[in-house]
Amino acid sequence: MSFFDWEFIWIHKTDFIPAIILSLKLSFFGILGAMILGFIAAIIEFYQVKFLKSIFRVYLSVSRNTPLLIHLFFLYYGLGQFGIKLDAFSCGVIGVIFLGGSYMCESFLLGFRYVDKIQKDSALALGFSDKDILRFIIFPQSLAVCTPSIGANVIFLLKETSVVSAIALADIVFVTKDLIGTYYKTSEALLMLIAIYLILLLPLSIFFVWLERYYKRAFF
């Protein structure tokens, strides 16, 4: 006798399609925003920009020491007390950006600080501006160092989106709980949940391993 009801899995596999699309959209916009925010924060920290440096350090401390679930509750329920109403999807994207920006900042800083100071001094002596040094010298070389960390952050943030069901977003976890509550098929629903996350995350892991090797061959 089979441990799993494979007929149930076959019938309900398509129930996850809208949830997968939602999770991928939320992850895409959230992670893209987190990369942009993290890159800006890393530049501010790396170049010690006055005024903004203190603001971003407060943001980094808050972001790293609070979970995504708290961010979502504040955005979805808390802002309503101040007359600001955001839809659940926007709250999910902003929450991922807020959480992920601090982690991406550390990843970019790791790469920026790897580049030897003598290269920057030599570029300054040749008349390069700070902008050109960042664009042509620091950033290309930093990619080989920070790519593994960025890849780990991308996978981490994609997994973190599993909590957005707490603000009524019908993501993959939401559908799983719905199937369990309706049909009491816990093992089958959890098996589909695990399979979906493996299908989503394994190609990402393989891609970032390839990307890391590519940059290492290009710059080392």
- Name the residue with higher pLDDT: 25 or 53: 25
Asked whether residue 212 carries a pLDDT value surpassing 90, the answer given is: no
DSSP string, the chain: --SS-HHHHHHHGGGGHHHHHHHHHHHHHHHHHHHHHHHHHHHHHHTT-TTHHHHHHHHHHHHHTS-HHHHHHIIIIIGGGGT----HHHHHHHHHHHHHHHHHHHHHHHHHTTS-HHHHHHHHHTT--HHHHIIIIIHHHHHHHHHHHHHHHHHHHHHHGGGGGGGT---HHHHHHHHHHHH--HHHHHHHHHHHHHHHHHHHHHHHHHHHHHHHHHH-
pLDDT, residue 105, reads: 94
pLDDT, residue 2, reads: 59
pLDDT, residue 6, reads: 87
The string of pLDDT tens digits covering residues 133-187 is: 888 888 888 888 899 999 999 999 999 999 998 888 889 999 999 999 999 989 9
pTM above 0.75, yes or no: yes
What CATH class has 16-219? Answer: mainly alpha
Where exactly are the structural domains of the chain?
16-219
